[in-house]
Amino acid sequence: MKNLWSDEEAKNYKTDLELRVYTSNLLGRSDELVLHGGGNTSVKTVLDGEEILLVKGSGWDLLSIKAEGFAPVKMSTLLEMAKLEKLSDSDMVSGQKAAMIDKTAPNPSVEAILHALIPYKVVDHTHADAVVTISNSKTGLDNIKKVYPNFLIVPYVMPGFILARTIYEMTKGLDWDTIEGIILHNHGIFTFDDDAKRSYDKMIDAVTCAEEFLEENAKLELISKTPVEFNIDQLKEKVGAEFINVNQSDLALTYASQDDLRSKVTRGVLTPEHIIRTKRHPLVLEDENIATALDSYKSEYKKYFEKFSKDEIMLDANPKYAVIKGFGIVSFGKTQKEADVINDVIEHTMTAVLRADKLGGYESISLKDSFEMEYWELEQAKLAKAV
Protein backbone atom coordinates (compact mmCIF):
# COMPACT_ATOMS: atom_id res chain seq x y z
CA MET A 1 0.00 0.00 0.00
CA LYS A 2 1.04 3.56 -0.56
CA ASN A 3 3.14 5.37 2.03
CA LEU A 4 1.71 8.91 2.15
CA TRP A 5 4.47 10.52 4.24
CA SER A 6 5.75 13.73 2.65
CA ASP A 7 8.90 15.49 3.92
CA GLU A 8 7.48 18.69 2.47
CA GLU A 9 4.25 18.43 4.53
CA ALA A 10 6.03 17.08 7.61
CA LYS A 11 8.20 20.21 7.81
CA ASN A 12 5.16 22.09 9.14
CA TYR A 13 4.85 19.77 12.15
CA LYS A 14 7.45 20.18 14.87
CA THR A 15 6.32 19.20 18.37
CA ASP A 16 5.50 15.65 19.49
CA LEU A 17 1.80 16.44 19.34
CA GLU A 18 1.97 18.17 15.96
CA LEU A 19 3.75 15.20 14.39
CA ARG A 20 1.26 12.89 16.09
CA VAL A 21 -1.57 14.82 14.45
CA TYR A 22 0.18 14.58 11.07
CA THR A 23 0.75 10.81 11.02
CA SER A 24 -2.73 10.19 12.50
CA ASN A 25 -4.19 12.13 9.57
CA LEU A 26 -2.01 10.12 7.18
CA LEU A 27 -3.41 6.86 8.58
CA GLY A 28 -6.91 8.31 8.28
CA ARG A 29 -6.39 9.13 4.61
CA SER A 30 -6.13 5.42 3.74
CA ASP A 31 -9.57 3.89 4.04
CA GLU A 32 -8.03 0.43 3.78
CA LEU A 33 -6.54 1.15 7.25
CA VAL A 34 -9.35 2.86 9.15
CA LEU A 35 -12.91 3.93 8.44
CA HIS A 36 -15.14 6.49 10.09
CA GLY A 37 -13.71 6.87 13.58
CA GLY A 38 -11.88 3.52 13.58
CA GLY A 39 -8.38 3.02 14.99
CA ASN A 40 -6.50 5.10 17.52
CA THR A 41 -3.09 6.68 18.01
CA SER A 42 -1.02 8.17 20.82
CA VAL A 43 2.25 9.86 21.71
CA LYS A 44 4.02 9.92 25.06
CA THR A 45 5.51 13.22 26.12
CA VAL A 46 6.56 15.12 29.24
CA LEU A 47 4.52 18.10 30.38
CA ASP A 48 5.52 20.06 33.50
CA GLY A 49 7.82 17.24 34.56
CA GLU A 50 5.09 14.59 34.37
CA GLU A 51 4.96 11.78 31.78
CA ILE A 52 1.75 12.16 29.80
CA LEU A 53 0.01 9.98 27.22
CA LEU A 54 -1.66 12.08 24.54
CA VAL A 55 -4.21 9.62 23.15
CA LYS A 56 -6.96 9.95 20.57
CA GLY A 57 -10.15 11.23 22.13
CA SER A 58 -13.23 9.05 21.79
CA GLY A 59 -15.46 10.26 18.95
CA TRP A 60 -12.64 11.78 16.89
CA ASP A 61 -11.70 10.52 13.43
CA LEU A 62 -8.04 9.93 12.52
CA LEU A 63 -8.58 11.61 9.17
CA SER A 64 -9.58 14.93 10.68
CA ILE A 65 -8.19 14.82 14.23
CA LYS A 66 -6.49 17.98 15.46
CA ALA A 67 -4.32 18.68 18.52
CA GLU A 68 -7.41 19.30 20.68
CA GLY A 69 -8.71 15.81 19.77
CA PHE A 70 -5.99 14.20 21.89
CA ALA A 71 -6.66 13.59 25.59
CA PRO A 72 -3.68 14.19 27.95
CA VAL A 73 -3.64 11.45 30.59
CA LYS A 74 -1.04 10.79 33.30
CA MET A 75 0.99 7.71 32.39
CA SER A 76 1.49 6.72 36.03
CA THR A 77 -2.28 6.33 36.55
CA LEU A 78 -2.77 4.32 33.35
CA LEU A 79 0.08 1.96 34.24
CA GLU A 80 -1.39 1.42 37.72
CA MET A 81 -4.78 0.63 36.14
CA ALA A 82 -3.17 -2.03 33.90
CA LYS A 83 -2.12 -3.96 36.99
CA LEU A 84 -5.65 -4.29 38.37
CA GLU A 85 -7.27 -7.72 38.20
CA LYS A 86 -10.60 -6.19 37.31
CA LEU A 87 -11.89 -2.78 36.33
CA SER A 88 -15.45 -1.91 35.36
CA ASP A 89 -16.07 0.31 32.34
CA SER A 90 -17.39 3.11 34.50
CA ASP A 91 -14.37 2.92 36.87
CA MET A 92 -12.04 2.92 33.86
CA VAL A 93 -13.73 6.00 32.37
CA SER A 94 -13.85 7.91 35.65
CA GLY A 95 -10.27 6.88 36.59
CA GLN A 96 -8.95 8.05 33.22
CA LYS A 97 -10.89 11.26 33.45
CA ALA A 98 -9.50 12.00 36.90
CA ALA A 99 -5.98 11.44 35.52
CA MET A 100 -6.44 13.96 32.69
CA ILE A 101 -4.42 17.14 33.11
CA ASP A 102 -6.90 19.10 30.99
CA LYS A 103 -10.46 18.36 32.00
CA THR A 104 -11.91 20.07 28.93
CA ALA A 105 -10.21 17.54 26.60
CA PRO A 106 -12.32 14.70 25.15
CA ASN A 107 -12.60 11.31 26.88
CA PRO A 108 -9.54 9.17 26.12
CA SER A 109 -9.86 6.27 23.68
CA VAL A 110 -11.05 2.96 25.18
CA GLU A 111 -7.56 1.65 24.37
CA ALA A 112 -5.68 4.30 26.42
CA ILE A 113 -4.34 1.78 28.99
CA LEU A 114 -2.99 -0.44 26.22
CA HIS A 115 -1.29 2.54 24.54
CA ALA A 116 0.34 3.38 27.89
CA LEU A 117 1.62 -0.20 28.27
CA ILE A 118 3.50 -0.18 24.98
CA PRO A 119 6.92 1.21 25.93
CA TYR A 120 7.49 3.35 22.86
CA LYS A 121 6.84 7.02 22.30
CA VAL A 122 4.50 6.65 19.30
CA VAL A 123 1.78 3.98 18.99
CA ASP A 124 -0.46 3.42 15.94
CA HIS A 125 -3.51 1.15 15.85
CA THR A 126 -5.57 0.42 12.74
CA HIS A 127 -8.15 -2.12 11.57
CA ALA A 128 -6.29 -2.70 8.28
CA ASP A 129 -8.50 -4.59 5.81
CA ALA A 130 -5.71 -6.89 4.63
CA VAL A 131 -4.79 -7.93 8.18
CA VAL A 132 -8.35 -8.62 9.34
CA THR A 133 -9.16 -10.40 6.06
CA ILE A 134 -6.41 -12.94 6.74
CA SER A 135 -7.27 -13.09 10.44
CA ASN A 136 -11.02 -13.55 9.86
CA SER A 137 -10.75 -16.89 8.15
CA LYS A 138 -10.71 -20.52 9.24
CA THR A 139 -6.95 -20.63 8.59
CA GLY A 140 -6.50 -17.16 10.09
CA LEU A 141 -4.19 -17.79 13.01
CA ASP A 142 -1.84 -20.02 10.99
CA ASN A 143 -1.63 -17.56 8.13
CA ILE A 144 -1.17 -14.58 10.46
CA LYS A 145 1.75 -16.39 12.08
CA LYS A 146 3.23 -17.00 8.64
CA VAL A 147 2.90 -13.38 7.52
CA TYR A 148 3.95 -11.91 10.89
CA PRO A 149 6.57 -14.24 12.43
CA ASN A 150 7.98 -11.44 14.59
CA PHE A 151 4.72 -9.96 15.89
CA LEU A 152 2.98 -10.65 19.19
CA ILE A 153 -0.29 -12.36 18.21
CA VAL A 154 -3.16 -11.87 20.63
CA PRO A 155 -6.26 -14.13 20.45
CA TYR A 156 -9.57 -12.24 20.32
CA VAL A 157 -10.70 -10.65 23.56
CA MET A 158 -13.04 -7.75 24.18
CA PRO A 159 -11.38 -4.36 23.51
CA GLY A 160 -10.86 -1.93 26.40
CA PHE A 161 -9.60 -3.03 29.81
CA ILE A 162 -9.76 -6.79 29.13
CA LEU A 163 -7.54 -6.38 26.06
CA ALA A 164 -5.09 -4.14 27.93
CA ARG A 165 -4.97 -6.61 30.82
CA THR A 166 -4.41 -9.55 28.43
CA ILE A 167 -1.48 -7.78 26.80
CA TYR A 168 -0.10 -6.78 30.21
CA GLU A 169 -0.03 -10.48 31.17
CA MET A 170 1.33 -11.65 27.80
CA THR A 171 4.20 -9.16 27.80
CA LYS A 172 5.43 -9.58 31.39
CA GLY A 173 9.18 -10.11 31.05
CA LEU A 174 9.05 -9.60 27.28
CA ASP A 175 11.91 -7.77 25.58
CA TRP A 176 9.77 -5.46 23.44
CA ASP A 177 12.65 -4.91 21.04
CA THR A 178 12.19 -8.51 19.87
CA ILE A 179 8.71 -7.83 18.42
CA GLU A 180 7.84 -5.68 15.43
CA GLY A 181 4.22 -5.05 16.34
CA ILE A 182 1.04 -6.64 17.68
CA ILE A 183 -1.74 -8.40 15.78
CA LEU A 184 -5.11 -8.50 17.52
CA HIS A 185 -6.87 -11.54 16.05
CA ASN A 186 -10.22 -10.62 14.41
CA HIS A 187 -9.59 -6.97 15.23
CA GLY A 188 -6.50 -5.16 13.89
CA ILE A 189 -2.84 -4.28 14.23
CA PHE A 190 -0.51 -2.12 16.35
CA THR A 191 2.87 -0.69 15.34
CA PHE A 192 5.10 1.46 17.53
CA ASP A 193 8.42 3.28 17.59
CA ASP A 194 10.09 6.21 19.28
CA ASP A 195 9.77 8.14 16.03
CA ALA A 196 6.42 9.11 14.41
CA LYS A 197 7.57 8.49 10.85
CA ARG A 198 9.09 5.12 11.64
CA SER A 199 5.93 3.94 13.44
CA TYR A 200 3.84 5.02 10.42
CA ASP A 201 6.31 3.35 8.01
CA LYS A 202 6.10 0.13 10.04
CA MET A 203 2.29 0.17 9.73
CA ILE A 204 2.44 0.64 5.96
CA ASP A 205 5.12 -2.04 5.55
CA ALA A 206 3.27 -4.53 7.75
CA VAL A 207 -0.04 -4.03 5.97
CA THR A 208 1.73 -4.32 2.60
CA CYS A 209 2.93 -7.79 3.67
CA ALA A 210 -0.70 -8.83 4.27
CA GLU A 211 -1.78 -7.32 0.94
CA GLU A 212 0.92 -9.27 -0.89
CA PHE A 213 -0.14 -12.48 0.85
CA LEU A 214 -3.75 -11.88 -0.28
CA GLU A 215 -2.69 -11.03 -3.82
CA GLU A 216 -0.96 -14.36 -4.01
CA ASN A 217 -3.47 -16.52 -2.15
CA ALA A 218 -6.89 -14.87 -2.32
CA LYS A 219 -7.27 -12.71 -5.39
CA LEU A 220 -10.59 -10.88 -5.60
CA GLU A 221 -12.62 -11.98 -8.61
CA LEU A 222 -15.68 -9.95 -9.53
CA ILE A 223 -18.43 -10.67 -11.98
CA SER A 224 -20.16 -8.06 -14.14
CA LYS A 225 -23.90 -8.46 -14.53
CA THR A 226 -27.14 -6.55 -14.92
CA PRO A 227 -29.07 -6.25 -11.67
CA VAL A 228 -32.55 -7.81 -11.38
CA GLU A 229 -35.63 -5.60 -10.81
CA PHE A 230 -36.55 -4.85 -7.21
CA ASN A 231 -39.11 -2.60 -5.51
CA ILE A 232 -36.81 -0.43 -3.49
CA ASP A 233 -39.47 2.09 -2.36
CA GLN A 234 -41.42 -0.68 -0.72
CA LEU A 235 -38.32 -1.88 1.14
CA LYS A 236 -37.50 1.65 2.31
CA GLU A 237 -41.04 2.14 3.60
CA LYS A 238 -41.26 -1.21 5.39
CA VAL A 239 -37.91 -0.73 7.13
CA GLY A 240 -38.91 2.83 8.01
CA ALA A 241 -35.65 4.22 6.65
CA GLU A 242 -35.59 7.91 5.89
CA PHE A 243 -32.52 7.62 3.67
CA ILE A 244 -30.92 4.79 1.73
CA ASN A 245 -27.74 4.08 -0.17
CA VAL A 246 -28.05 1.66 -3.10
CA ASN A 247 -24.86 -0.14 -4.12
CA GLN A 248 -24.88 -2.01 -7.44
CA SER A 249 -21.16 -2.00 -8.10
CA ASP A 250 -19.57 -5.18 -9.49
CA LEU A 251 -18.46 -5.91 -5.91
CA ALA A 252 -21.99 -5.55 -4.51
CA LEU A 253 -23.49 -7.62 -7.32
CA THR A 254 -20.87 -10.35 -6.96
CA TYR A 255 -21.53 -10.45 -3.22
CA ALA A 256 -25.31 -10.47 -3.63
CA SER A 257 -25.25 -13.15 -6.34
CA GLN A 258 -23.51 -15.86 -4.31
CA ASP A 259 -25.07 -19.31 -4.00
CA ASP A 260 -26.32 -20.11 -0.54
CA LEU A 261 -26.56 -16.35 -0.03
CA ARG A 262 -27.99 -16.21 3.49
CA SER A 263 -25.29 -18.31 5.09
CA LYS A 264 -22.55 -16.50 3.14
CA VAL A 265 -23.52 -12.96 4.17
CA THR A 266 -24.38 -13.55 7.82
CA ARG A 267 -20.98 -14.46 9.21
CA GLY A 268 -20.26 -11.31 11.17
CA VAL A 269 -18.31 -8.08 11.09
CA LEU A 270 -14.82 -7.35 9.82
CA THR A 271 -13.63 -5.65 13.01
CA PRO A 272 -15.65 -5.56 16.25
CA GLU A 273 -16.55 -1.88 16.34
CA HIS A 274 -18.30 -2.11 12.94
CA ILE A 275 -21.16 -3.80 14.73
CA ILE A 276 -22.48 -0.54 16.15
CA ARG A 277 -23.02 0.70 12.60
CA THR A 278 -24.08 -2.42 10.69
CA LYS A 279 -25.35 -4.94 13.31
CA ARG A 280 -24.02 -8.47 12.91
CA HIS A 281 -26.42 -9.58 10.18
CA PRO A 282 -28.08 -7.84 7.24
CA LEU A 283 -31.63 -8.43 6.08
CA VAL A 284 -31.28 -11.07 3.34
CA LEU A 285 -33.86 -11.09 0.55
CA GLU A 286 -33.78 -13.98 -1.88
CA ASP A 287 -37.35 -14.52 -3.10
CA GLU A 288 -39.24 -13.75 0.09
CA ASN A 289 -41.98 -11.21 0.61
CA ILE A 290 -40.36 -8.12 2.20
CA ALA A 291 -42.75 -7.90 5.17
CA THR A 292 -42.33 -11.58 6.04
CA ALA A 293 -38.55 -11.40 5.74
CA LEU A 294 -38.44 -8.30 7.90
CA ASP A 295 -40.63 -9.89 10.59
CA SER A 296 -38.39 -12.90 10.75
CA TYR A 297 -35.27 -10.67 10.85
CA LYS A 298 -36.66 -8.78 13.84
CA SER A 299 -37.71 -11.89 15.70
CA GLU A 300 -34.24 -13.41 15.15
CA TYR A 301 -32.71 -10.20 16.49
CA LYS A 302 -34.95 -10.36 19.53
CA LYS A 303 -33.89 -13.98 20.19
CA TYR A 304 -30.22 -13.00 19.96
CA PHE A 305 -30.83 -10.13 22.36
CA GLU A 306 -32.69 -12.31 24.87
CA LYS A 307 -30.03 -15.01 24.73
CA PHE A 308 -27.17 -12.73 25.76
CA SER A 309 -28.67 -9.72 27.54
CA LYS A 310 -28.44 -9.11 31.27
CA ASP A 311 -29.90 -5.71 32.00
CA GLU A 312 -29.45 -3.95 28.65
CA ILE A 313 -32.26 -2.28 26.75
CA MET A 314 -32.83 -3.68 23.27
CA LEU A 315 -31.75 -1.40 20.41
CA ASP A 316 -33.95 -0.87 17.36
CA ALA A 317 -34.44 -4.35 15.86
CA ASN A 318 -34.55 -3.12 12.25
CA PRO A 319 -31.69 -4.07 9.95
CA LYS A 320 -28.99 -1.52 9.06
CA TYR A 321 -28.61 -2.88 5.54
CA ALA A 322 -30.03 -5.47 3.17
CA VAL A 323 -28.39 -7.92 0.78
CA ILE A 324 -30.80 -8.50 -2.10
CA LYS A 325 -30.20 -11.48 -4.38
CA GLY A 326 -29.06 -10.36 -7.83
CA PHE A 327 -29.84 -6.70 -7.06
CA GLY A 328 -27.12 -5.46 -4.70
CA ILE A 329 -26.79 -3.85 -1.26
CA VAL A 330 -29.13 -1.27 0.27
CA SER A 331 -28.02 0.57 3.44
CA PHE A 332 -30.49 2.42 5.66
CA GLY A 333 -30.06 5.60 7.68
CA LYS A 334 -31.80 8.34 9.61
CA THR A 335 -29.58 10.65 7.58
CA GLN A 336 -27.95 10.21 4.17
CA LYS A 337 -24.58 10.31 5.92
CA GLU A 338 -25.54 7.35 8.13
CA ALA A 339 -26.63 5.28 5.11
CA ASP A 340 -23.43 6.21 3.25
CA VAL A 341 -21.21 5.33 6.24
CA ILE A 342 -22.87 1.91 6.52
CA ASN A 343 -22.29 1.38 2.80
CA ASP A 344 -18.60 2.26 3.20
CA VAL A 345 -18.21 -0.28 6.01
CA ILE A 346 -20.02 -2.96 3.98
CA GLU A 347 -17.86 -2.29 0.89
CA HIS A 348 -14.80 -3.23 2.92
CA THR A 349 -16.56 -6.19 4.54
CA MET A 350 -17.68 -7.62 1.19
CA THR A 351 -14.16 -7.59 -0.22
CA ALA A 352 -12.82 -9.26 2.92
CA VAL A 353 -15.51 -11.96 2.97
CA LEU A 354 -15.00 -12.86 -0.70
CA ARG A 355 -11.24 -13.09 -0.21
CA ALA A 356 -11.34 -14.91 3.15
CA ASP A 357 -13.53 -17.56 1.51
CA LYS A 358 -10.47 -18.42 -0.55
CA LEU A 359 -8.52 -18.98 2.67
CA GLY A 360 -10.73 -21.74 4.01
CA GLY A 361 -13.82 -19.64 4.74
CA TYR A 362 -14.65 -16.30 6.37
CA GLU A 363 -15.01 -16.48 10.15
CA SER A 364 -15.55 -13.51 12.48
CA ILE A 365 -16.04 -13.18 16.25
CA SER A 366 -18.76 -15.29 17.91
CA LEU A 367 -22.39 -14.26 18.46
CA LYS A 368 -21.67 -13.74 22.14
CA ASP A 369 -18.64 -11.53 21.49
CA SER A 370 -20.68 -9.64 18.90
CA PHE A 371 -23.39 -8.99 21.45
CA GLU A 372 -20.92 -7.77 24.05
CA MET A 373 -19.50 -5.32 21.55
CA GLU A 374 -22.87 -4.17 20.19
CA TYR A 375 -24.17 -3.46 23.66
CA TRP A 376 -20.92 -2.15 25.15
CA GLU A 377 -21.81 1.23 26.59
CA LEU A 378 -18.45 2.68 25.56
CA GLU A 379 -19.14 1.82 21.92
CA GLN A 380 -22.67 3.18 21.99
CA ALA A 381 -21.28 6.38 23.51
CA LYS A 382 -19.05 6.79 20.43
CA LEU A 383 -22.06 7.04 18.13
CA ALA A 384 -23.58 9.72 20.30
CA LYS A 385 -20.37 11.75 20.34
CA ALA A 386 -19.21 11.24 16.75
CA VAL A 387 -17.66 14.41 15.37
Binding residues vs Zn ion (CB under 5 A): 188
Alpha carbon distances (Å) from 180 to 89, 193, 198, 293, 376: 30, 9, 12, 48, 31
Measured from the CB atom, is 111 or 193 closer to Zn ion?
Answer: 111
CB of 330 to Zn ion, least distance (A): 27
Measured from the CB atom, is 154 or 284 closer to Zn ion?
Answer: 154
**Nearest residue to the partner Zn ion, using Cβ:** 188
Give long-range contacts, CB 8 A cutoff, 24+ apart: 100-105: 100/71, 100/72, 100/73, 100/74, 101/47, 101/48, 101/50, 101/52, 101/72, 101/73, 101/74, 102/71, 102/72, 105/57, 105/68, 105/70, 105/71, 105/72
Measured from the CB atom, is 26 or 256 closer to Zn ion?
Answer: 26
Helix, strand, coil shares of the chain, percent, nearest 5, are 45, 15, 40
CB of 238 to Zn ion, least distance (A): 34
Dist. CA 43–CA 185, nearest whole Å:
24
CB of 24 to Zn ion, least distance (A): 14
- Per DSSP (E only), the strands in 240-302 are 243-247, 283-285
CB of 188 to Zn ion, least distance (A): 5
CB of 232 to Zn ion, least distance (A): 34
Measured from the CB atom, is 106 or 188 closer to Zn ion?
Answer: 188
CB of 187 to Zn ion, least distance (A): 6
Q: Under a CB-based contact definition with an 8 Å cutoff, are residues 107 and 71 in contact?
A: yes
Measured from the CB atom, is 87 or 183 closer to Zn ion?
Answer: 183
Measured from the CB atom, is 182 or 353 closer to Zn ion?
Answer: 182
